[in-house]
Structure 1
Amino acid sequence: MRLSLLPIFVFLMPLAEIAGFIVVGKMVGVWATLGLVILSALLGAALLRIQGIGILQRISTESRNGGDPGREMVHGAMIVIAAFFLMLPGFISDIIGLLLFIPAVRDLAWRILRNRIVVVGNSRAFRRGQGPGAGPQAQPSKPGTVVDLDETDFHREPKRNSPWSDQKRLED
């Protein structure tokens, strides 16, 4: 969607949602319409919780294996947007939200957005392509490497003049 069409969309969407309420309210009644709105909000919250945890695990796995987590990040963002649409009162936003929960629709959106999104990170796992970080040293480190420091390995004396110091300063 072009950026210049966004204000028109923002203005017309509530009008379309109100029209949807009127149409559905005439078909099934007021209480059933309110029940559907509440049910869709609860469904959005539940789907966000279930799907969101899975997406976070896939992003972590993809990053740990040295892959590009861009696709999973976009899928995660689309799931958050889908849950937001489901939690909004209205049937048109619910349809958009349900469509975004379908993996095939998210894959289609990813194919459209893929060339416009760049994932940037400082981790060596992100520097596997061409460029200054590429090469044999750009391989991801072994998982499970732990650096254990004792009090003798790491100790820092507080600075007396620091504003975060517990000691009183001369100016006070």
Structure 2
Amino acid sequence: MKFLVPILIIIPAIEITLLLTVSSKIGILPTFFLILATGILGAYLAKKQGMKTLHKARQQMNSGQVPGEAIVDGLCILIGGLLLLTPGFFTDTTGFLLLIPATRKFIKPTVMKLFQRLFQNRGRFTIIR
């Protein structure tokens, strides 16, 4: 939570800077179409990778395995797809890194560590009745 406010300030500042820099180099219209193309390509890749991961998770569950890795893949694909739908070059780059399986395999261990810390028992219990 303490990182949320800086992220909400820093990421848009990076995006605006990159958009202004690129549009001054190649023009406004090509920049617009580039952003549009990455959004369309991102939606296509997210759907394709998401369906593949869903199929993998179903196979693992049908064989009695816990689909832990498939769940992390699915989360990375979801976040990557959302980032690609967000206009900007920084978020697009991050989104593509999360969608491409070759680069995602380097990111997954970090995501797993974050999940372990998030769900680790810290002596607090919540009982809902």
* TM-score (normalizing by structure 2): 0.82
* CA offset digits 1:95-127 (Å, max 9, x no partner): 100111122332233223335177xxxxxxxxx
- The amino acid that maps onto 2:33 is G
Q: 4+ residue runs of structure 1 moved beyond 3 angstroms?
A: none
Question: How far is the alpha carbon of 1:65 from its aligned partner?
Answer: 1.0
Equivalences, count: 116
Distance, in Å, in 1 between the alignment partners of 2:108 and 2:18 is: 29
| 1:80 aligned partner | 78
Question: How far is the alpha carbon of 1:42 from its aligned partner?
Answer: 0.5
| 1:106 aligned partner | 104
| 1:146 aligned partner | none
Distance, in Å, in 2 between the alignment partners of 1:110 and 1:13 is: 22
Gaps of 5+ in 2: 120-129
| 2:25 aligned partner | 27
| 1:127 aligned partner | none
Q: Please identify which structure carries the higher helix content.
A: 2
Asked if the contact 2:46–2:99 (Cα under 8 Å) also holds between the matched residues in 1, the reply is: no
Kindly name which structure, 1 or 2, has the bigger radius of gyration based on alpha carbons: 1
Distance, in Å, in 2 between the alignment partners of 1:110 and 1:39 is: 26
Asked if the contact 2:98–2:107 (Cα under 8 Å) also holds between the matched residues in 1, the reply is: no
The Cα RMSD (Å) is 1.6
| 1:71 aligned partner | 69
Distance, in Å, in 2 between the alignment partners of 1:114 and 1:8 is: 23
| 1:12 aligned partner | 10
Question: How far is the alpha carbon of 1:52 from its aligned partner?
Answer: 1.0
* TM-score (normalizing by structure 1): 0.63
- The amino acid that maps onto 1:21 is L
**Quick one: percent identity of the two aligned structures?**
29
| 1:138 aligned partner | none
Q: Which has the higher contact order (CA 8 A, sep 6+)?
A: 2
Distance, in Å, in 2 between the alignment partners of 1:19 and 1:9 is: 15
